[in-house]
Amino acid sequence: MSAVLQFTPEVGQSGITLTAEAPGQTQVLTPAAQAFLRDLHLCFEARRQALLQARVARQAEFDAGASPDFRADTAAIRAADWKVAPIPTALQDRRVEITGPVDPKMVINALNSGANVYMADFEDSTSPTWANLIEGQRALRKAVAGTLDWMAPDGSKHYTLKPEAERAVLCVRPRGWHLDEKHVLVDVDGDRQRISASLFDAGLFAFHNAATLAAKERGPYLYLPKLQSMEEAALWEDALAHIEATLGLTHGQIKVTVLIETLPAGFEMDEILHALRARIVGLNCGRWDYIFSYIKTFRAHHDKVLPERSQVSMTQSFLRAYSELLIRTCHRRGAHAMGGMAAQIPISGDPEANEAAMSRVRADKLREVSAGHDGTWVAHPALIPLAREIFDAHMPEAHQQHVRREDVQVTLEALIKPPLGTITRAGFENNVEVCVRYLAAWLDGSGCVPIHWLMEDAATAEIARTQLWQWLHYGDDGREPLYLDDDTAVDFGLLERALIGLPGKLQDRLRLPGSSRINEAIGMLDRLTHADTLAEFLTLPAYERLD
């Protein structure tokens, strides 16, 4: 990872202040690019802030006992007969997609991987240091031009792109509406305001690559994360339409897939498709974030406490209902219904354990294709042949939008009913370890971290953190605490013992990503779990500690 250079910030002629510097920055943030970003900020920042305040107000209603539900004011949209715009040829067949961060080596390997689509991720699998963001934008620009290469530091390997016809289709995931980009300040009547991280990531990528991608009939294509309402989707629609008009693109040229990864959005799938109907091509089951959102939404509901993460699988009724509703909704509207992530990575040196892990992946992908999904996600290139074999055997066409799933009739109760299960000591301690190790790596600049043969990103760390908070605060109002399956009380003493023992447990892993920041991460998790109010996102306070 390149170091961020120190320099004195100044307001540029474009009205932008850059508070840090990284190698290659001037090639990415040209005066014209800065002016473009400032225009986006001036046009859309007020609406973004209003929508973030609406999230706060809505969560207050949930904390007071309300539940997400299908909206009465949008019933006509759900009842009407309409479809989204036609899907472009490059996105007709998306049976296997790989995701990962945006460093040059990853970009090359993912585009060369044999997957149909590569989601280049500025969000949950990238630690948004300034150097990482600039390096990622540079890498994607070179990838689009076909000139990206990478040499191993010791000179032992040289990575280059395959011919374009053999590469995966590129989709880019910007960060969510809730995140700022602190290194880019926009001068507004003397007030220096942080730009939206969403507009920075998506806007800068489009500014440099839209014309080239449009000429190749390859986009630009985006994945949109963390939406909670149709109004947030409408903000994306207006921002992307503005980008198209500014860059001279045809309206609807930029295509999007939306991740349904928040519980409130699960009740607004039709509405989100409708708000983006000129450009949306599909919805995706962002299941790890969806579980995180379920916990966060119901943080004050004692009857909605989930068991440990390993027991919350897609076969649980509330997750199966969400997945099937997504398939039914998408196929009714002419959009793809994308399945979720297989986070497993191959287990070296233990064939039996590896086969057990791969069997779980096969079962998950078979469930998805049998239910009617049009494609799936994997986190590791070694899983691509496995996922492709299953989808090829059960989906001979490019997609299966003909599988209408009209048998699916999902109710409010089905979408929110929590599964039964337990909390084991191993499950509790695993949440502590995953959260600390991931946070330490993230603070050190790595956003995609292998832990116990799973590729963990911010979403899985968020499940761990929010579960710990909810379990530990269950008895805040004087009620009995929760108990592990061995009858040990889930209290802050249990957390303290787990945190104290963690550095010793990790002594043999001192070369792991973020090992130098383990104690800092332990302190952060301790403060976050003791807080009276559950923090909205782990990455908000952690971001302030990044370069």
Give me the active site residues, please. Answer: 173, 457
Structure tokens at 299: 């943080």
Strand order in the sheet with 16-18: 16-18, 180-188, 191-196
Amino acid letter at 379?
A
**CB–CB of 208/220 below 8 Å?**
no
The span from the CA of 493 to the CA of 502, in Å, is 14
The span from the CA of 53 to the CA of 46, in Å, is 11
In the 3-class helix/strand/coil scheme, how is 76-127 assigned residue by residue? HHHHCCCCCCCCCHHHCCCCEEEEECCCHHHHHHHHCCCCCEEEEECCCCCC
Q: What angle do CA 198, 203, 207 make, to 5 degrees?
A: 165
Q: Is 421 left (phi over 0), alpha (psi -120 to 50) or beta?
A: left
Asked if the bond preceding 220 is cis, omega within 30° of 0, the reply is yes
Residues in the chain: 547
DSSP letters along 395-420, please? Answer: --SS--TT---TT----HHHHHPPPP
User: What is the Cα gyration radius of the chain?
Assistant: 23
User: Phi and psi (nearest 5°) for 256?
Assistant: -135, 150
**CB–CB of 278/250 below 8 Å?**
no
The angle, 0 to 180 degrees and rounded to 10, between the axes of the packed helices 458-472 and 518-530 is 50
The span from the CA of 9 to the CA of 365, in Å, is 50
Q: Is 292 left (phi over 0), alpha (psi -120 to 50) or beta?
A: alpha
Strand partners, 455: 450
The span from the CA of 470 to the CA of 106, in Å, is 35
**CB–CB of 196/30 below 8 Å?**
no
The span from the CA of 369 to the CA of 399, in Å, is 10
Strand partners, 118: 98, 170
Structure tokens at 386: 């496995």
Buried b (16+ CB within 10 A) or exposed e, 27-41: ebbeeebbebbbbbb
Q: Which helix (H) or strand (E) holds 264?
A: helix 263-266
